[in-house]
């Protein structure tokens, strides 16, 4: 695949810059500029020469003590029409979502092969978003079901997928461990069912979370068995409501009330123990 794209590279490792530059130039791309810090990038965006139309920036997510996410925001705010591809060592759904929310057009990891990098450049140059195939598949598996959750529950679910335990989730989202436990109960009921496309992704994470006391059904440290019973009950309830011809949206409302009641009872038990 031969391309003539104009590319700028932001990476704090010069060896990585050299490798990327060599590979892209061998496939017809022009490396217009290279930077190792936000200060260098900012100076170029402010006073540098005009860039060719359709220039694409390949941005490392972690720039030493600085963040590539800030670089994406800076590039978008410059008004130069540069599209960004986040090039990262972070293989996680939350990292992809952060990059896309900041305005990146693409996300690939550093262990991808050169062909996928060229595919990303071609796709982004055409005005479309590109996410590395494995990560895109992972995002597709969870995106539909995540819409059933509140914003905070979505954030916790994504942290869970990234392998965080309750303490790390609480610290990451600036909430208490108890709040994480209560939200986890709701996430568990909605997403951990054998018919869910999220089943393979969440099963291992929830089991790990339970070992770290993330799931609470008794007003304290929860038991995985109790959670499993809840899933069985909800699965049976779903079959019954479907058999009775109840609309799917009404089913979610009905089950939502049950979940809220369960969490409320759980909180009351916890307060009594305190």
Task: Spell out the SS3 assignment of 4-17.
Answer: CCEEEEECCCHHHH
For residues 256-264, average pLDDT? 73
How would you classify residue 120: left for phi > 0, otherwise alpha for psi between -120 and 50, otherwise beta? alpha
Classified by CATH at the fold level, domain 6-137 comes out as Rossmann fold (3.40.50)
Categorize the per-residue pLDDT at 144 as very low, low, confident or very high, splitting at 50, 70 and 90.
low
| pLDDT for the residue 140 | 75
Q: Give domain limits for the chain.
A: 6-137, 147-273
Bigger pLDDT: 188 or 116? 116
| pLDDT for the residue 86 | 94
| pLDDT for the residue 39 | 94
Give the angle subtended at the CA of 100 by the CAs of 99 and 101, to the nearest 5°.
90
| pLDDT for the residue 230 | 63
| pLDDT for the residue 167 | 87
Q: Which residues contact 34 (CB under 8 A, 6 or more apart)?
A: 8, 9, 10, 11, 17, 21
Residue 224 pLDDT > 50: no
Q: Which residues contact 273 (CB under 8 A, 6 or more apart)?
A: 219, 220
**Percent of the chain scoring above 90 in pLDDT:** 32
């Amino acid at each position: 695949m031969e391309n003539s794209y104009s590319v700028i590279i932001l990476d704090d490792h010069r060896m990585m810059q050299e490798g990327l530059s060599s590979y892209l130039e061998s496939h017809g791309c022009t490396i217009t500029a290279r930077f190792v810090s936000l200060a260098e990038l900012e100076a170029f965006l402010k006073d540098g020469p005009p860039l060719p139309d359709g220039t694409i920036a390949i941005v490392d997510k972690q720039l030493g003590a600085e963040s590539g996410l800030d670089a994406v925001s800076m590039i978008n705010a410059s008004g130069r029409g540069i599209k960004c591809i986040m090039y990262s060592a972070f293989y996680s759904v939350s990292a992809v979502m952060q990059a896309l929310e900041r305005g990146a057009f693409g996300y690939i990891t550093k262990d991808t092969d050169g062909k996928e990098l060229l595919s990303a450049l071609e796709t982004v140059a055409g005005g479309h978003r590109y996410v590395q195939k494995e990560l895109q598949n992972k995002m597709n598996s969870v995106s539909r079901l995540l819409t059933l959750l509140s914003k905070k529950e979505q954030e916790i679910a994504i942290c869970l997928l990234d392998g965080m335990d309750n303490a790390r989730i609480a610290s990451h989202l600036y909430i208490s461990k108890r709040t994480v436990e209560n939200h986890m109960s709701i996430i568990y009921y909605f997403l951990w069912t054998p018919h869910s496309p999220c089943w393979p992704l969440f099963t291992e994470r929830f089991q790990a979370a339970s070992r770290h006391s993330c799931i609470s059904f008794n007003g304290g440290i929860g038991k995985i068995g109790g959670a499993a019973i809840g899933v069985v009950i909800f699965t049976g309830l779903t079959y019954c409501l479907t058999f009775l011809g109840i609309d799917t949206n009404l089913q979610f409302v009905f089950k939502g009330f049950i979940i809220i009641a369960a969490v409320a009872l759980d909180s009351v038990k916890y307060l009594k123990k305190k």
